[in-house]
Structure 1
Amino acid sequence: MYLNDNQLSGPIPESLGRLSKLEMLALQVNHLRGNIPRTIFNLSSLVQIGVEMNELEGTLPSDLGNALPKIQYLILALNHLTGSIPASIANATTMYSIDLSGNNFTGIVPPEIGTLCPNFLLLNGNQLTASRVQDWEFITLLTNCTSLWGVTLQNNRLGGALPNSIANLSEHLQLLDLRFNEISNRIPDGIGNFPKLIKLGLSSNRFTGLIPDNIGRLTMLQFLTLDNNLLSGMMPSSLGNLTQLQHLSVNNNNLDGPLPASLGNLQRLVSATFSNNKLSGPLPGEIFSLSSLSFVLDLSRNQFSSSLPSEVGGLTKLTYLYMHNNKLAGALPDAISSCQSLMELRMDGNSLNSTIPVSISKMRGLELLNLTKNSLTGAIPEELGLMKGLKELYLGHNNLSLQIPETFISMTSLYQLDISFNHLDGQVPTHGVFSNLTGFQFVGNNKLCGGIQELHLPSCQVKSNRRILQIIRKAGILSASVILVCFILVLLVFYLKKRLRPLSSKVEIVASSFMNQMYPRISYSDLAKATNGFTSNNLVGTGRYGSVYKGRMRFKNSVSDVAVKVFDLEQSGSSKSFVAECKALSKIQHRNLVGVITCCSCPNLNQNDFKALVFEFMPYGSLDRWIHPDIDPSSPVKVLTLMQRLNIALDIGAALDCLHNNCQPAIVHCDLKPSNILLGDNMVAHVGDFGLAKIVTDPAGEQLINSKSSVGIMGTIGYVAPEYGEGGQISPYGDVYSFGKVPTHDMFSDGLTLQKYAEMAYPELLIDIVDPRMLSVENAWGEINSVITAVTRLALVCSRRRPTDRLCMREVVAEIQTIRASYVEEINKIVSD
């Protein structure tokens, strides 16, 4: 009987106990209340009882195991059951899995349960106790169970010493979780006897002594949590043998000595926390060379000395880097700017004694930067004001001097700024964060003046000579007038030429202007040589208006891989596409836009027109080939993790936000789809192909240049906004629709669309629309379900039919950041749990 997840409420009917042939009772994930009827436990035919995630209460019958001779699965988790676990449960000798977690069972674990030999014994989240050696006898009896796979006892009140017999549990054991108890004494030396163990949770107990050296024998281990104990001594170098490890936490202990260099072997490590110990010595470069670190590296509250090594630039995927409250000195290396995924960087409470490097401003994803309580000198770099996403900036208690950068006024996201106790002088601005009395901290700078009245700072003294100011003002007015007249004349000439010049000439003007700025000039022969004559071996893709080839070219003193997009000029619209891309790419630069190197517009060897754009080569190809592997069945299967997908979505959103809100005038891409998303180093996403891009004069799209297409729908079927097909105006909301949309499929017919299908599946059946390959690399659906739910909800909002009902791209980016931060927090919770 399957009645799970049906919003059932009230008590379980006793009549179910009269179904003499009932084998499976599945009532999980409902709102059932009251006691489980005694008649249920008398059904000798039952093979499985599943009532988890309800509101059931009461106690279990003392003879529970006697009346269920066929029971294999006893799943009573996440209810309000009380009392003791009946010893008779050991009589149900066919038991495969016992899950009593998340209830309020009390007393000791009955020793008899150890004779049952289930594959899984899940007792976490109760009030079970242990204080004497005898209370752990069930562990000793479990050593006879050769098929034991998992034991979870976390979140109980188990105390005393862990018996040495735990080292004799089954060699098939994959899960051993003892976190959040009161277990004391040393970790048994035999803890390394489990060759298949995946997760070992020992955190939040009272373990003392050393970390056993033979823990390095757990070569399949992925999760190791030792935090919040009383462990001491040095970390064993054998930890470097755990090459499958993804999460390591040893924070909040009494560990000392240096970090073992062998940690550099942990090439799959996602998060590592070492904070609040007595670790010392220089920071090992090996730990910063772990490019797999994508969540957190926490080395704070230790005694690390020396300077921050330049290897820190290898943490290109890391989200949080904490090194506060140590003894680090010297300068922040410029290499830290390579950490483009960082959202938080904390270096406060050290002895850094250089200037603040300008290169930090390149970390455009940074939301929090804390450099307080160091010995930093010099001026605050104006370039920090270009970090549009920065929300919190803490620079207090240093030796910084000169004025507050005026660029800080335009930092609309900044809501916390601490510049207190420095040597700053000059005028305090009145806008932005400087108008926030709670967010702006400035005390201890005695030479500051101005600002809003509520700051109670003295007025700024004007020391300039009035006569000189008058002369300068008159000269400025005269110069501005001359410049304005010249500018108007230039515009008039350009306008007249533009009106009279044919398209081919316009193309040459755009290309010439493009190359005369900062881009190198190249010829057809240069590109032919770079691509081996545009051979098929160098072909990496084809599109609507041409083909893309891989090549190698020398620029200045270096040779690099490039992508050469050659336009098929026999294809209608290709020349316009070339012009559109040149115009768009000459106006924008962003880390998430495909980086253009130069363009070429000249005759080929046959004196025919030839036009091409040269881009930075993206080694991981298009996003299309990652999410639609059937495009190229011969290539290896590529799987993106959920975190990678969130990062890619955030990259794309940041690029579109730049086009819509940071470009003047705004640019609408008009053809956003996975094949136009390219993945560069460290899987950073870049938006490319601006052949259909349109420049608008207003971000909301009311006044437009070339706003309607004369050749039909703008974009690709399956991604194009519905208003474009109805003759509507081009606007940034069209890109938002494409961002939230995935293409059509044969299954969607008779009025069924992807949106309707997702709405029907949301939120209960979302697993049906999730890429099954992603589930193969994630630990469990339950851990990612909330994220998938939030992402689907956002996608549905983005793909609403009416443009005004959609979010703007800046709001979309904020939502994705929130979703990713929530997922990061969930991962951290899983690690700490």
Structure 2
Amino acid sequence: MTDLLALQELKSQISGDPNGVLNSWNHSKHHCQWQGVTCDTRHQRVTALTLSGMGLSGTISPHIGNLSFMKSIHLGENQFHGGIPQEVGLLFRLRFLNMSSNNLKGEILVNLSWCSELRVVDLISNQLEGKVPNELGSLKKLVALYLNENNLTGEIPRSLGNASSMTELALAYNHLNGNLPKELGLLKSLSWIIVGVNGLVGDIPSSVFNISTLTSFVAVENMLHGMLPANIGLTLPNLEELELGGNQFHGNIPTSITNASKLQFLDLSQNKFEGQVPTNLGDLPNLLGLNLAMNLLGSNSAGDLSFLPSLTNCSRLHTLDFPLNHFGGELPKNIGNLSLQLTYLHMGYNNISGTIPKGFGNLVNLNILSMTQNSFTGGIPGDFPKLQKLQALDLEENKLSGQILSTLCNITSLYYVGLSKNSLEGNITRFLENCKNLGQLSLSWNNFNGSISAHIFGSYLSLISLDLSHNSLIGSLPSEVGKLKGLNELDISYNKLHGEIPGTLGDCSSLEELYMQGNFFQGTIPMHLASLKGIQKLDLSNNNLTGPIPQGLEKLMFLKYLNISFNDLNGEVPTEGVFRNASQISLAGNRKLCGGIPQLRLPPCITKRKKKSRHLLIIVISVFSPVALISMILLAYIIAYNKKARRHGSSSKPSMVDKLFRVSYHELHRATSGFSPANLIGSGSFGLVYRGRLYEHGDRLIAVKVLDLQKNGASKSFKAECKALRNIRHRNLLPILSYCSSIDSKGLDFKALVYEFMGNGNLDLWLHPETAEMMGSRNLNLHERLNIAIDVASALNYLHYQCEVPIVHCDLKPSNILLDNNLVAHVGDFGQAKLLASTTDSSSLQGSSSAIAVKGSMGYVAPEYGMGLQVSTQGDVYSYGILLLEMFTGKRPTDDIFMDGLDLHNYVKTALPEQVLEVVDPILLLSKQGDEIEEESAQVGLDNDDKKMECITSILKIGVECSATSPNDRMHMGETVRKLHRIRDGFLDANYINKANLDI
């Protein structure tokens, strides 16, 4: 009866039973005959509950503890929530506990140690938290402990070394930290150690490497370091799987590894291994996968790839991965003799040279072939079309020449082809005609010519991305492009295409990104583009388009980037949708546009209604008295004059400072609690910054910069900042709310500037946290840093080229960049800003000088200022370049390592491109940092790391060019902004493997 009642209570807590499993749990049968229930024959007591994978939901009743004869619980792969009942610890006969793949929360039961008969504990893939209980080490009969994929924290208990029967330990995908306990070496029967994707640190204890029974050791994506034992293959003779990727191991790969002849998977990727790869890897006959990616292997010399010929003996090899190393030399001629089972081969981001040898056609099972970013020359081998199972071919960024094989697309399984950034040439029509099944095609940055054939598009039913940009294509874009219903991205920018933009583009219902800039398109922007409901980015700039902006574009709710600059558009600019945010649209170079939101600073539109007003004025004048007539004429003249003054930027225009509300000293005193030290949030060259709350003006949070007028130059700084901020407004400039020039409570002069409060402080505190607590909570990932870099560059570009009078900031550094709650950057502190005369060439410094000393900040000041040259926008570019290098290396320009002629600029320059890993901020190399993998590019595995390193290298190159010694060698901020946007777009685009949904 006790068991029956317990089962009934269990059923009562189950709220979902989609498969009707519990329909048999009724009084028509004895409970020992209920589905999933097993009883012993002698006492008819429940001994096993087996309901795995039944889709059950609800909670697990505490009455489960009343099934005192229970030996086996299998409730895995359901949807149970809540906690594991404490009463489970009362089942002293329990041997098997499986509650994996549910939504269970809470902590692991400490009293599981009372279940002294336990053999297997499987709680994989739940939401359990807290520590792994020390008490589990007392389970002498425990064979397997599976706790993967939870939210466990703390250290791995040393007491687990007392669980003498343990053979399998799996703790991966948690938040564990600390060292790997040396006590695990006491488990002499241990065959599995799976502790990957945690926060483990330190060396792997030598005792672990002495467990001769070990068959699988997986510790990927931790912070483990040290060198592998030279005799590792001798002490681990039964090893089948060694995966240490994503750590900080260094030194050489031990040659003894081949003594572990049972080895099937060897993953040493994303470490700091160096030297040559052992040339006897062919002694591993069972090797299935070899991953050496992202290390320091090789020396850019001819013998670096001498390990490849030996791999031809590994007849079962299906994955070979060695990109992002220092491998040089040519591929061995017998590369085609690798295993016929090979499905994945990636050797990109090295310095491999020479022609691609023939023989690849022998690898008939190859699915993925990536040779991107090397120095391959010559043409594409003629035997590539033999790879009939090939799904992705990536040969981008090499030095390939000649024409594309017209038979390449005879590979019917081919989904992705990447050939961009080579020197390929010829007419692409013949090649395109044969590619019927492609999903992604990138042919950009080559020398292709000819027109785009109209009948091509009718065959591309599966195409989702087409990039033909930066070539010499001519002719018009065929209207048949509208047949590409599944197209997600189309880039035909920077060619020589002309004619009208086909309205049928609006039929590409899946289109999210459309780039057509840098061509000769003419006519109007088609109204039908407003049918692209999912469009997010649209660039039609630098063409010959005329006419108005279609009103329908403002209804595109997902559009977040619109560039129609440098055309000949006219008419009124819409004010809704994307047009409501000046930072998301670019309209420059269209002098006939009017209206729009105030931030665009466009002239007002002259409407028909105003014309009617003028007619009305004439009628009124004709009937009014002479006195009234004169008065109205004067009034009309004043109105017309003011309109003209506003159009031409007359001095009568009220400045930004003039329009600010004024605050008194007493209001600011009250807002900051008497300028209390508790509200002090920063200090600068000329004063202190306080946090406050301005109750009289909307109860808003503010930052108050109080000038110390006793300091020499403080008053001048106040005037300079007011002058600089007089007429500027940009989303990436620190918004000024008010100012105060008054007398304080002691009768002394008081000057302060009031800014919008930035909740995330300044960039310096994020790049260089002052405390361990801040270090743990203030880590900017790659995407966030890149966004901030673009924000700052956009602000400088606005100051230099989009203000009525160019403004030079003169003191750009991390502490002057404030971050709001969304980590959007705002450039502040214009205390040293200079306004350039309109007649001054703001970007050239040849021979010009100035007696005015520019202080700036050490490490960020342009070198020409020290020689007396005048202030220029290129001085800001230098400061920005140093800032960019600091953001992505984590090193200040004033760090102690920079001495004896070495500075931050040369430190990075000498590392590009081969030694980028040695200078980049280590935080950026963590594989799982925040939500980077999900939010930055939706990439997986190594491909995300490839994109990351490509992105970082490109950014550092910009930083080096911006911080060049000679001002004339630096790029302009407009070019910097464009390049950074291009880098970010490339990084955020899902890579070809993820888009193809390939299971590598």
Matched, 1:71 2:239: yes
Say if 2:598 is the partner of 1:435. Answer: yes
Match status 1:339 vs 2:508: yes
Tell whether the 8 Å contact from 2:394 to 2:417 is kept in structure 1 after alignment: yes
- The alpha-carbon deviation at position 421 of structure 1 amounts to 3.0
CA distance in 1, matches of 2:261, 2:490: 51
Are the equivalent residues in 1 in contact too, given 2:562–2:578 (CA < 8 A)?
Answer: no
Aligned partners of 2:388 and 2:439: how far apart in 1? 17
Structure 1 residue 233 displacement after superposition = 1.1
Which of the residues 238, 242, 253 maps onto 1:85? 253
Residue 182 of structure 1 aligns to a residue whose secondary structure is coil
Partner of 1:3: 170
Residue 423 of structure 1 deviates from its aligned partner by: 5.5
Q: Shift of residue 65 of structure 1? A: 0.8
Equivalent in the alignment of 2:183: 15
Secondary structure of the equivalent of 2:364?
coil
- Bigger radius of gyration among the two: 2
Equivalent pair of 1:261/1:286 in contact (CA under 8 Å): no
Post-superposition shift, 1:326?
0.3
2:495–2:518 contact (8 Å) kept in structure 1: yes
1:27 aligns with 2:195: yes
Closer/same/farther in 2, CA of residues 53 and 389 from structure 1, 3 Å limit: closer
CA offsets 1:587-617 (integer angstroms, 9 cap, x no match): xxxxxxxxxxxxxxxxxxxxxxxxxxxxxxx
1:216 aligns to 2:390 (yes or no): no
Match of 1:56 among 202, 224, 237: 224
Q: 1:761-780 maps to which residues of 2 (within 5 A)?
A: none
Contact 1:8–1:32 (CA<8 Å) still a contact in 2?
A: yes
Match of 2:282 in 1: 114
Q: Quick check: 381-390 or 33-42, which moved more?
A: 381-390
Q: 1:79 touches 1:102 (CA, 8 Å); kept in 2?
A: yes
Tell me the amino acid that sits aligned with residue 430 of structure 2: A
Residue 177 of structure 1 aligns with an amino acid whose one-letter code is H
Distance 1:322 1:268, change over 3 A: same
Aligned length: 471
Which residue of 822, 827, 830 maps to 2:991? Answer: 827
Amino acid of the residue matched to residue 826 of structure 1? A
- Contact kept in structure 1, 2:228 and 2:253, CA below 8 Å: yes
Inter-partner Cα distance in structure 1 for 2:534 and 2:582 = 13
Name the CA distance, whole Å, in 1 between partners of 2:533 and 2:485. Answer: 13
- After superposition, residues 191-202 of structure 1 pair within 5 angstroms as 191-202=360-371
Residues 7 and 420 from structure 1, CA distance in 2 versus in 1: closer, same or farther, beyond 3 angstroms?
closer
Displacement of 1:157 in angstroms is: 0.9
The question of whether the paired residues in 2 share the 8 Å contact of 1:243 and 1:265 is answered with no
Q: Is the 8 A contact 2:407 2:434 kept in 1?
A: no
2:208 alignment partner in structure 1: 40
- CA change 1:163–1:4 in 2 (3 A) is same
Q: Whole-Å Cα distance in 2 between the matches of residues 469 and 407 of structure 1?
A: 34
- C-alpha distance in 2, partners of 1:166/1:231? 19
Aligned to 2:472: 303
Cα distance in 1 for residues equivalent to 2:196 and 2:503? 55
| Distance in 1 (alpha carbons) for counterparts of 2:552 and 2:468 | 28
Give the C-alpha shift of residue 781 in structure 1: 9.8
- CA separation of 1:68 and 1:354: change in aligned 2, threshold 3 A: same
- TM-superposed CA distance for 1:415, in Å, is 4.7
Kindly indicate whether residue 403 of structure 2 is the aligned counterpart of residue 234 of structure 1: yes
Amino acid at match of 1:150: T
Instruction: State the 1:15 CA deviation.
Output: 2.3
Partner of 1:205: 374
CA shift in 2, pair 1:417/1:122, >3 Å: closer
Taking the aligned partners of 1:310 and 1:781, their CA distance within structure 2 comes to: 39
Shift of 1:411: 4.9
Q: Does 1:400 align with 2:550?
A: no
Gaps of 5+ in 1: 443-447, 452-459, 472-762, 764-777, 785-820
Q: Distance in 2 between matches of 1:367 and 1:135?
A: 45
**What one-letter code is carried by the residue in structure 1 that aligns with 2:315?**
T
Task: Mark the CA change 1:215 to 1:319 in structure 2 (over 3 Å): closer, same or farther.
Answer: same
| Structure 1 length-normalised TM | 0.52
Distance 1:241 1:169 in 2: 23
Flag as ranges the 4+ runs of structure 1 deviating above 6 A: 460-463, 468-471, 778-784, 821-824
- The amino acid of 2:331's aligned partner reads L
Q: Is the 8 A contact 2:555 2:577 kept in 1?
A: no
C-alpha deviations, 1:23-63, integer Å up to 9, x for none? Answer: 22222222222111122222221111112222111001111
The change in CA–CA distance for 1:203 and 1:286 in structure 2 (over 3 A counts) is: farther
For the Cα contact (< 8 Å) 1:294–1:317, is it kept in 2? yes
Amino acid across the alignment from 2:614: S
Deviation at 1:13, TM superposition (A): 2.0
Residue 272 of structure 1 aligns to a residue whose secondary structure is: strand
- Quick one: structure 1 residues 201 and 822, their matched pair in 2 at CA, closer, same or farther if it must change by over 3 Å? closer
Report the alpha carbon displacement of residue 134 of structure 1 after superposing the two structures with TM: 3.7
Residues 416, 463 of structure 1: alpha-carbon distance in 2 compared, 3 angstrom cutoff: farther
Q: Give me the whole-angstrom Cα distance separating, in 1, the residues matched to 2:177 and 2:585.
A: 52
Q: Which one of 540, 547, 561 corresponds to residue 371 of structure 1?
A: 540
The match for 1:466 among 573, 597, 616 is 616
Q: Aligned-pair distance for 1:824?
A: 6.7
SS of residue matched to 1:135: coil
Q: Is the 8 A contact 1:291 1:317 kept in 2?
A: no
Q: Secondary structure at the match of 1:330?
A: strand
2:265 equivalent in structure 1: 97
Distance 1:33 1:383, change over 3 A: closer
**Equivalent AA in structure 1 for residue 272 of structure 2:** N
Q: For the structure 1 residues 164 and 8, does the alpha-carbon distance in structure 2 shift closer, same or farther, using more than 3 Å as the test?
A: same
**1:407-422 alignment, distance < 5 Å:** 411-412=579-580, 415-422=583-590
SS in 2 for 1:192: helix
Alignment CA distance shift 1:467-1:52 (3 Å)? closer
Give the superposition deviation at 1:111.
Answer: 0.3
| Aligned with 1:258 (options 412, 415, 427) | 427
- C-alpha deviation, 1:357, in angstroms: 2.0
Tell whether 2:483 aligns with 1:314. yes
Quote the offset at 1:251 in angstroms. Answer: 0.9
| 1:82 shift after superposition | 0.6
For residues 551-606 of structure 1, give each alpha carbon's deviation from its aligned partner in whole angstroms, at most 9, with x where no partner exists.
Answer: xxxxxxxxxxxxxxxxxxxxxxxxxxxxxxxxxxxxxxxxxxxxxxxxxxxxxxxx
Indicate if the aligned counterparts of 1:249 and 1:831 stay in contact, CA closer than 8 A. Answer: no
User: Post-superposition shift, 1:354?
Assistant: 2.2
Q: Secondary structure at the match of 2:257?
A: helix
Letter in 2 for 1:108: Q
Output aligned runs, 1:662-811, within 5 Å: none
Residue 261 of structure 1: how far off its partner (Å)? 3.2
- Aligned CA distance change for structure 1 residues 89 and 286 (closer, same or farther; 3 Å): farther
Q: Residue 404 of structure 1 aligns to a residue in which SS?
A: strand
CA distance in 1, matches of 2:176, 2:578: 54
Q: Distance in 1 between matches of 2:463 and 2:619?
A: 55
Alignment of 1:137 onto 2:306: yes
Q: Deviations over 1:286-331 (max 9, x none)?
A: 6534545564321111101000012211222222211111000111
The amino acid of 1:259's aligned partner reads I
Which residue of the partner structure matches residue 350 of structure 2?
181
User: Aligned with 2:178: secondary structure?
Assistant: strand
Q: RMSD across aligned C-alpha pairs, in angstroms?
A: 3.3
AA partner of residue 201 (structure 2): R
Listed as ranges, the matches of 1:567-582 within 5 Å are none
Q: 1:158 aligns to what SS in structure 2? A: coil
Task: Report the Cα offset of residue 780 of structure 1.
Answer: 7.7
Q: Residues 262-281 of structure 1 correspond to what in structure 2 (within 5 A)?
A: 262-281=431-450
